[in-house]
Structure 1
Amino acid sequence: MFSDYTFTAAHRFMEYVQVDTESDPLSNTFPSTEKQKNLAGILVAELQDMGITDAHMDQHGYVYATVPSNVTHDVPVICLCSHMDTSSDCSGHGVKPIVHKNYDGSDIVLPDDTTQILRASDHPYLKEKIGNDIITASGTTLLGADNKAGVAEIMDAVHYLTTHPEVKHGAIRILFTPDEEIGQGVKYVDMQKLGAQFGYTLDGGELGSLEDETFSADAAKIIIEGISTHPGMAKGKLVSAIKLAAEIVDSLPKDALSPETTEDREGFVHPVRMQGVVEKAEIDFIVRDFTTDKLQQHEAFLQQQMDKVVAKYPGAKGTLQITEQYRNMKEVLDQYPQVSAYAEEAIQRAGVTPLKMSIRGGTDGSRLSFMGLPCPNIFTGEMAFHSKLEYVSIQDMQKAVETVVHLVMIWEEKSRS
């Protein structure tokens, strides 16, 4: 069914990654960077060119669109979702995508910074991509495959469906979000307007992966209040909030409870930002675990470490603030087993072996699931995300497009009376 189809995902992707959409975790606006709307505008125009008449961007930078049903019987409305922003962990400005055709397994030296070398020995999945066409950046930026690969694949799937009306499907809602990388991706989604019953994010990694479980996540902030005085007359008086903050971070375990020492289903407490002056300092943490109840244990540990340090310095004060971010979507998806089952079947129909996996992270689907839209995560091919060595296989992207098309067909088939 795809033998005579010219996929557009890679071409679209190469264009999208050149649009800087880096989000900003320190911003107080939404979206956190206005430039994310530049890509949203491009996507709206392309959808309208495909005949999707209701495609639009709202005031928050979300893109909404509908591929109308082409059958007369009722089919659950499905949402396909990807995020437009890229991580601030690595620059997304001036991305130069490069296609390495028919990858032969050798090291890929990125031309704009030859110290950046993509080696199969360091990236085992790359060994499986020999013969594929690999897209990288040029060495000075990330690529943006997370998640513009997903955006491009959804756009290509829409293109396929609009040019192949013989493929039967129900109504499909398209949602492209800003600010996913800073945990705010679905903050202002209008669920009534979206009007979908089930959803899928395209934000996964290796070919065939299907993720129905994420971390549960909180943000934690420790605020330390010290005592400031002139350093020349500070003996016995000055209490440096900066030093207390550093001592708290240093008190964290060196061999456990951190991203660099955990794997599989192990959770962690991770300091991601520290700022301050003598009088006041703040430490921002992310707290993660697959078991939601364990978040409270990790946060109690943080409280304990803070209290121990602060108690040693008379006059100092410490406060721990906790903000809920998202919860393990499996708690919701287990109530709707068909949602993941249909995705698994779609992957198989695309000629790929499904890989059921858990995400050591989160997606927009984590929060959408708890907002009433059960939403597992499907592969895109994006790998080594948030780094200058990020890459994606064009062939993986095409298989993701096939999977999406099969998926909407399966929902239509299963709904026939």
Structure 2
Amino acid sequence: MALNLSYTVLERFLRYVQIDTQSDPSAEAFPSTEKQKDLSRLLVQELQGMGIADAHLDEYGYVYATVPANTDKEVPVICFCSHVDTAPDCSGANVKPLVRKNYDGSVLTFPDDPNVRLDPAQHPELARKIGHDIVTASGTTLLGADNKAGVAAIMDAAWQLMNNPGIKHGKVRILFTPDEEIGRGVDHVDIKKLGADFGYTVDGERLGSLEDETFSADAVTIDIQGVSIHPGFAKGKLESALKIAADVVAALPKDRLSPETTSGKEGFIHPVSLQGGAEQAQISFIIRDFEDAQLQAHEAFLKEVLDGVMKHYPNSHAGFKVTEQYRNMKQVVGQYPQIVDNAMEGMRRAGVEPQRGSIRGGTDGSRLSFMGLPCPNIFAGEYAFHSREEWSSVQDMEAAVRTIIETLRVWEERS
């Protein structure tokens, strides 16, 4: 049965991006900001309005919902997941979405800040979207396409399933999470309650992307205890923790092992913050690689750099703490090739050419995979994440809706 859909994804997307859901990495609470629940409550209302009776918001800010099966076949339970929060990098308050219809390939300007320009020469994906309807913000905020494009696609797909009983599918679970942008998105997911066999995050960029491999990720914290003394009497005695920390950062390679010098499958060591003074200082790093062994090698190298610097400061001390963040989902997803195969076939049936690849980052699916829900990532049509230049293609979002539905049909047919 060919799909003949009356899409709701754009109207949903425009509604959702105007709700400020920015997460806060400095907060202790979960979710980190209560305002994320403003969108989650709306999603529950809309899901219930579709006839999805069990849609609810739990104490942690997760939305759970079920689209019941309409087939007699034994079909694996499939979950689709997106996150409601937007990144702390750029304001998400008072977003004014603009729909630029029938894009002509020109440089897009923004009414609220003429210094912001969306240039197809700098954004190759935009250059491929001539004729598309492009959504941006107004120049002073991010748009929130990451990941409200995915949220809107899942919501539209759920609406289509509830209103088109001729689309045969198994049981579908919907999960919307808070705090993904600050690395806590699945901290309190109840996998048993979710009750899904396999899943897909809808949090990808370019049309047709299907990512079943991510970085493995650790954090490293270096705490330095220096020797502090009045600077007027410091000769031969002062060992400034702040200067030691600066020496550690300066000793890192300039031509490799950094985000700005790597691509593809290359990993990196990246200092993300340095704070302190003469007596104490702390450096926070993120370490990334696709191979766990290489991740450990990067950490060993960083420890060697630290030890080399500390030799010059005999009366100071340094701690080196490694914290696991997430692991390459390929280690789990690779055991279930049907997850990727069925999604790729779903894309083809949706008129989309699949592009299988890797993420130089992680998603909620990385951790969900190791929690018992193998969960690769599919596209949502969201681009230029975390910036005032963020944009989305309406046609790509509609293709994501078709892909979700067609993937479910493939699961049903092949069961």
TM-score class normalised by the smaller sequence:
over 0.9
Aligned-pair identity in percent equals 62
Which piece of structure 1 moves more, 128-137 or 246-255?
246-255
Deviation of the 1:2 alpha carbon? 7.1
* Corresponding residue of 1:229: 229
Give the TM-score, by structure 2 length.
Answer: 0.98
Distance in structure 2 (CA, Å) of the matches to 1:173 and 1:343 = 16
Which residue of the partner structure matches residue 85 of structure 1?
A: 85
**Letter of the aligned partner of 2:99 in structure 1?**
V
Amino acid at match of 1:213: E
Rounded to whole Å, the distance in 1 between the matches of 2:264 and 2:87 is 23
The answer to whether residue 384 in structure 2 is matched with residue 387 in structure 1 is no
User: 1:164-194 CA distances to partner (integer Å, 9 max, x unpaired)?
Assistant: 1121111100001111111111111100000
2 CA distance for matches of 1:42 and 1:216?
Answer: 34
How far does the alpha carbon of each residue in 1:321-354 deviate from its partner, in whole angstroms, 9 at most, with x for none? 1111111111111110000000000000001111
TM-score for both structures, normalised by structure 1: 0.97
Instruction: Tell me the amino acid that sits aligned with residue 110 of structure 2.
Output: L
2:305 maps to amino acid: Q
Q: CA deviation at 1:3?
A: 6.5
Match in the other structure for 1:111: 111
Match of 2:376? 376
Aligned to 1:218: 218
Q: CA deviation at 1:4?
A: 4.8
The residue that corresponds to 1:412 in the other structure is 412
Instruction: Give the 5 Å matches for 1:2-401.
Output: 4-401=4-401
Q: Which runs of 5+ in 2 are unaligned?
A: none
The secondary structure found in structure 2 opposite 1:66 is: strand
Once the two structures are TM-superposed, the CA of residue 143 in structure 1 deviates from its matched residue by 1.0
- Aligned partners of 1:364 and 1:175: how far apart in 2? 11
Q: 2 CA distance for matches of 1:232 and 1:54? A: 69
- The C-alpha deviation readout for 1:297-322, integer Å capped at 9, x for no partner, is 11111111111112211321111111
Aligned partners of 1:125, 1:405: CA distance in 2, in Å? 25
CA distance in 2: counterparts of 1:2 and 1:125, whole angstroms: 28
Code of the aligned partner of 1:127: A
Q: Secondary structure of 2:274's partner? A: strand
The 3-state SS of whatever aligns with 2:383 is coil
Cα pair distance change 1:2/1:239, threshold 3 Å: farther
Aligned-partner Cα distance in 1 for 2:353–2:322: 40
Measured in 2, the distance between the counterparts of 1:36 and 1:15 equals 14
Residue 129 of structure 1 aligns to a residue whose secondary structure is coil
Q: Counterpart of 1:84 in structure 2: which amino acid?
A: V
CA–CA separation in structure 2 for the residues paired with 1:381 and 1:287: 28
Stretch moving more, 68-77 or 339-348: 68-77
Per-residue CA deviations over 1:30-64 (Å, capped at 9, x if unaligned) read: 11222211111111111111111111111111111
Quick one: distance in 1 between partners of 2:8 and 2:238? 63
- SS of equivalent residue, structure 2 residue 381: coil
* Matched position secondary structure for 1:409: helix
Q: Deviations over 1:253-277 (max 9, x none)?
A: 1111111110010000111122222
**Counterpart-to-counterpart distance in 1, 2:284 and 2:206:** 31
Counterpart-to-counterpart distance in 2, 1:249 and 1:140 = 33
Return the letter of the residue paired with 1:276. Answer: G
2:349 and 2:10 map into 1 onto residues whose CA distance is: 21
* CA shift for structure 1 position 110: 1.2
- 3-state SS of paired residue (2:287): strand
| SS of residue matched to 1:378 | strand
Q: What is the deviation of 1:5?
A: 2.8
The AA in structure 1 aligned to 2:178 is P
Residue identity opposite 2:400 in structure 1: A
Counterpart-to-counterpart distance in 2, 1:357 and 1:195:
28
Cα RMSD for the two superposed structures? 1.2
Counterpart CA distance in 1 for 2:242 and 2:96 is 40
